[in-house]
Homo-oligomer: A and B are copies of this chain.
Amino acid sequence: MSGNGIGVLFRLTSFGESHGPALGGVVEGCPAGLPLSEADLQVDLDRRRPGQNRFTTGRREPDLVRILSGVFEGVTTGTPIGLMIENTDQRSRDYSEIKELFRPGHADYVYWRKHGIRDYRGGGRASARETALRVAGGAIARKLLATAGVTIRAALIAMGEARIDREKWDWDEVARNPFFSPDAEAVGRFTALLDGVRAAGDSVGAMVEVVASGVGVGWGEPVFDRLDADLAKALMSINAVKGVEIGSGMEMARGRGSQLADEMFPGEDGGVDFASNHAGGILGGMSTGQEIVARLALKPTSSIRIPKRTVDVVGRAREVVTEGRHDPCVGIRAVPVAEAMVALTLADHWLRFRSRAGLSLH
C-alpha cells in the first residue's frame, strides 16, 4: 500500500534505480503449477530492451532477469517469485552538472522537494528503466492468463502527427518493424518523422493501443476497482503517459447515445454477440467478453538536446541541454510495457473473479 506495488491477489512490488546495483521485485499470488523459466520473461524483456536500433537509447543493458524464488523444477510453487535484473551498464560519467539542475519536464525537482535528496544518476527511480521490472512481472501474468485463453497485444498507432491506417492493421506486422507498428506502410512515415526529430535534437509523443482477447464475462469489481479504473491506473502509472482511454474513449464525448450503444444479438453458442465495441469490452466496470481495448498517450520525453531554461538546486536561473543516450520517442518502447500493465491488471482481476465464481449457495 506504500506505492511500489500493484494488484490485490496477483501483485507486483518493485524496487530499483537506473544506476543502482539492481532492479528487482516480487510477484505474489501466481498460482502453483505454471511452467516458468527465465527465458519466458526474457522474450518480453528483449522486446523492451534499448539499444536495438537507432530509434532507442544507445544504453546497452542485456537486461538479464534472474528468478530468485517461487519456481522449483521448472514450475511455480505458489510462493512469491523474486526477480532481479542487475544494472551492468552503469557507465561512469560526470554527473556534476545534472546533479545540480532540475531538467524541465522531469521528476528531478519533485523528487528533490519531496525527499530532500535524489539519486540523480540517470533519473534514479524515475528512469524509464524501472519499467523493465514491469515487463518481467507482466510476462508472468501473461503466461498465467494464457492458460485462461487470454491474449494481450499492443501496437504503436501514432507518433506525432503520423498515424497508422487502421484498415491495414496486421498484428503479425508488429514484430517486424522497430516501431511496433501494425501497419507496414506507416513504418516509412514513422521512420521519416523520427529521423527528423532526432536530427533536430528533439523528441516526439506517441499513442499506443492495447487489446486483450479472450477475457471472460464479469471480471472487474465495481464501484471503485472497476476493471477500466484499474486499467487506467495501471497505464497512467507508466512513465510519460498523460492520457488513457477505453474503447471509443474521448471520442464518445462528442457522440450520441443512439450511435454509441453496442447493440446485442443472440450468439451462436447461446451467448451474446455485440454489433460493435464502442465500450472497449467493459460495461459497468466489468468485462463483457468482447475484446478489451485501451489506448494511452505518451508525451515526448523532456530529454532533448535543445536548450531549455530551468533552475538549479540553489534557485539560480540556468539553461539545460540533455546530452546522452535518450529515446527520441519513448512511446515506442512503451508498447511492451503497456502490454505488461494490462496483463498484470487482468491476472489480478481473473483471480479476484475466480474467488467467487462457480459457487452454488442455495
Contacts and interface: CB of A to CB of B under 8 A. Distances in A.
Contact of A264 (B104, B232, B245, B360): B104
B114 A14 contact: no
A88 interface: no
Interface string A336-362: 000000000000000111111001111
Contact of A82 (B15, B237, B304): B15
A257 interface: yes
A279 interface: yes
B362 A33 contact: yes
A110 B244 contact: no
Interface residues of A, number: 163
B256 A361 contact: no
Nearest to A147: B361
Contacts of A235: 232
B33 A115 contact: yes
A10 interface: yes
B2 A202 contact: no
B205 A253 contact: yes
B22 A284 contact: no
Q: Nearest 7 CB-CB pairs, A to B?
A: A107-B284, A3-B221, A114-B218, A203-B257, A243-B245, A32-B115, A105-B261
15 contacts: A4-B224, A31-B359, A31-B361, A32-B115, A32-B116, A35-B361, A72-B119, A105-B260, A105-B279, A115-B218, A228-B241, A232-B236, A242-B252, A243-B249, A257-B306
Given A197-B256, A229-B236, 17 more contacts: A4-B223, A8-B9, A15-B26, A72-B118, A77-B117, A107-B283, A110-B220, A160-B256, A204-B257, A205-B252, A229-B237, A242-B245, A263-B308, A265-B309, A265-B317, A266-B311, A275-B309
